[in-house]
Amino acid sequence: MSVQVDSAVVRAARLAATGLRGQSLPDATAVVDALLAVQGQELQPALWGLSRRVAPSSRPGRAALNAALADGELLRTHLLRPTWHLVRPRDARWLLELSAPRVERLMASTERAWDLGDLGPGTEAVAAAVADGPRTRAEIKAELVDHGVLDPDAPGLAFTQMLMHAELRCLVISGPPPAGKELQHQSYATFDDRVPAGYGPLGERFDAQAAVVELWRRYLPGRGFATLNDLRLWADVTVRDLRPVLAALTEAGEVVQVAGTGDLEGLVLVATAATADRWLGGGDGGGDGVDDDPVVDLLQAYDELLISYRETRHVVLDPALPPPDRSGAFVHCVAVDGVVAGRWRWPAGAGRGGVDVQWLRDPTPAERAALDAAVADLDAYRG
């Protein structure tokens, strides 16, 4: 492992791999395909994040991305860690099968702590509530109360857990919004109505080891360089499951393991052979690193550039500045050339130019101009 990689190369490779530089994908569904799953906790900002990764000539606006959700081209559900994620229909079933057992064990611990009892009947009732068509969260809850499945005085967590169990068991998934409304609030539909049969890239049957192989193969191209623990914490899959697959892929030459240097010293970073050749093969990475003029990205709070990595997330943080804080309204991140330099909040209402920014340091005039360009892009996206 004589080849080494430093934070500057890793950061530039991640900007390109996650689609924030050199954008060439034709639409948002291709972006989600490339990233496998995109955290969608803050839904509208997450959709904005997808749009930034589409080629400028075909970049979609807000209405088009909400239409992709309504039409089922993109789906939103709880999986992996778990939290809300945007996924493509063909990937929903195998990702849920992979992550559901561990998630349900975590949920069982929470339910015991809250003394919520057996939520199984509620899960089946959730599925029954959407059998005749999509329902909003409020409509499902009302039906469960009317049928005596849910105590109207039960803590809100009980209903939330019922919904999540129904998602994890592939009974329900995101549905279209009520007529004329964006998906501001989650709606649900029957899982099999929105997700094709089978397990997508795995075929007709689920195989756990094949799923972990697919996880490595889909995670790495869209993330540049990452450690085993980065993937472990992103997908909540055990080291015991990840390590042998990594060894096999390395032996086959599909992936390359390189030593970190500088503030990455002591870590082993993994990349596809193509990524390693591009960024460590003696070239400049294809010119997708830092531009001569600063580039400002208005990143959503859970952007994959931030959330895809836990062990090596620090490569996008300035050690002289406080880390991002998701408390209050300023939950989103301002990044300058891939390094977090401020916070911003999603604009309220439909007006233009309503982006409030809190810089964590004094910006240069060029950085202020780059921020203005980013705000103009957001205005255009919001319409």
Mean pLDDT by 10 residues, the chain (383 residues): 89 98 95 98 96 96 94 96 95 97 91 89 93 94 94 93 95 85 74 98 97 98 98 96 98 97 97 97 56 91 96 96 84 97 86 79 97 95 91
Give burial (CB, 10 Å; 0-12/13-18/19+) of 359.
middle
In a domain, 120, yes or no: yes
pLDDT at 3: 85
Say how many domains are in the chain. Answer: 2
Residue 79 to residue 168: CA distance in whole angstroms: 7
Domain boundary pick from 201, 216, 241:
201
In a domain, 241, yes or no: no
pLDDT at 348: 80
Give me the domain span that covers residue 86: 28-201
pLDDT at 289: 46
Residue 5 to residue 256: CA distance in whole angstroms: 12
In a domain, 126, yes or no: yes
- 48 and 186: one domain? yes
In a domain, 291, yes or no: no
- 186 and 311: one domain? no
Q: Which two tokens stand for residue 332?
A: 């989103």
In a domain, 110, yes or no: yes
Domain boundary pick from 159, 175, 201:
201
Q: Which two tokens stand for residue 169?
A: 């068991």
pLDDT at 288: 46
In a domain, 147, yes or no: yes
Q: How far apart are the first and last CA of the chain?
A: 50
- 176 and 323: one domain? no
Domain boundary pick from 156, 185, 201:
201
In a domain, 248, yes or no: no
Residue 260 to residue 66: CA distance in whole angstroms: 40
In a domain, 242, yes or no: no
- 179 and 58: one domain? yes
- 195 and 315: one domain? no
